[in-house]
Each structure stands twice: as C-alpha cells, then as structure tokens.
Amino acid sequence: MYASLVLSNQAVGFSAEYESTEKDILFVSGSSQSEDNKITENTEASKIIITLEISDLVISSKISSGPIEILSNTGDIGMEAKIEKIESDISNIGKRLDSIDASVKNVNATVDPMRGIKAHVWFANAIATLTFAALGIIANFLWNNISSLDGKAHELTKDVSAIKTDINYIKSDIKELKENTNSKLDKLLERSSNNQ
C-alpha cells in the first residue's frame, strides 16, 4: 500500500525529518536521502513530493520549520472516504427512487378508478355503437386512453422495482467492501502497534 503526499512550504525554506522502522522513503523530489533513513531538506522549492510505503512499518514525522500544507493524500489510506462518498451517492439515488415511487403511486391512484369503469365503458360502447355513432367514437377514445394509462402505470411500477433491487445489490457490495477495508486497516494498526 502506498500513500503519495505533496507538501508545500509557504515560507522560504523547508525542513522535515522522517523516521521509520523500515526503509519507507521510495522517492523524494528535490531532497537527498541519507543511509540512516532520515531526510532533512532545506530548499526554496515550492513543492516537495514524497512517496511512502506504509504496509508493515511505523512512520513518525516532525516538521522543524514551516508552515507546511498537505495538499493531497491519495492511495489505499483514502478508501474509507471513497466508500462513504459511494454510500452517499447510493443514498441520494434511493431518495430519488422514493420520489419516483411516490409519483407512480399517484398515477396508480388516478388510474384505479378508471380501471373500475372500463367494463361500463365497454358496455356503453356496445350500446352506443348500435344506436349512436358519435357516442361510440367517444367511448372508444376513452377505452384506448384508459388502457394506455394502465399499461404505463404497470411499466413504471416494474421499472422502479427493478432499480430498487439493483440498489440493494450495490448496497450489499459496498457493505462487503467497507468490511474488507476496515479489516485491512485493523491489521495495519495491529502491525504498527507490534512494531512499536
């Protein structure tokens, strides 16, 4: 596991010392590395890039001059924050689905009474067709529109149900990923504790 840090000095000159139980400094830009695994840097460079391996070691750092600003911290160590962001996105999707579900229920509430009068419309259509051509045309129009609304309401209900099922699968995957990440972090803390 690697962590990439970008340190920026806001004053002229930068001095930092890093110590660890193992040789953790893999790459340092604008710095020199001594044999005893310590780095001391005094430079006017605006940024110094240090890459650290943090798998089975304990890292302690001391800033002897500054101020120093950590601009970014990327790598496996940020997985917890990424998982929380995904969970937040999933939660927002769930809220939007609830809104869609409520809209579908409103459509169903509107269509339900119409479903009840379909038989009456059919009967009226049969009578009107024999007696009044104009009423027969109106009845056919009502029949077709109610049937169309009914079909669309059923399709919306099925789509929302399928999306909610997918969301539940995603939530399960996120939960498993979070548990695995926490397990890895616990092991790292345990090893660090043993090294101390």
pLDDT digits (tens, 9 = 90+) for 61-97: 333 333 333 333 334 444 555 666 666 767 777 777 7
Contact call for residues 9 and 50 (beta carbons, < 8 A) = no
Give φ, ψ of 56 to 5 degrees: -125, 45
Q: What is the DSSP letter of 78?
A: G
Contact call for residues 9 and 46 (beta carbons, < 8 A) = yes
Structure tokens at 109: 């509430």
Instruction: Give the pTM.
Output: 0.30
Strand, coil or helix: 147: helix
Give dist(CA 102, CA 70) in Å, integer.
46
Give φ, ψ of 55 to 5 degrees: -75, -60
Q: What is the pLDDT of residues 93-145, one digit of tens each?
A: 777 777 777 777 776 676 666 666 665 666 666 665 666 666 666 667 777 77
Query: Which residues face 7 on adjacent strands?
Result: 48, 70
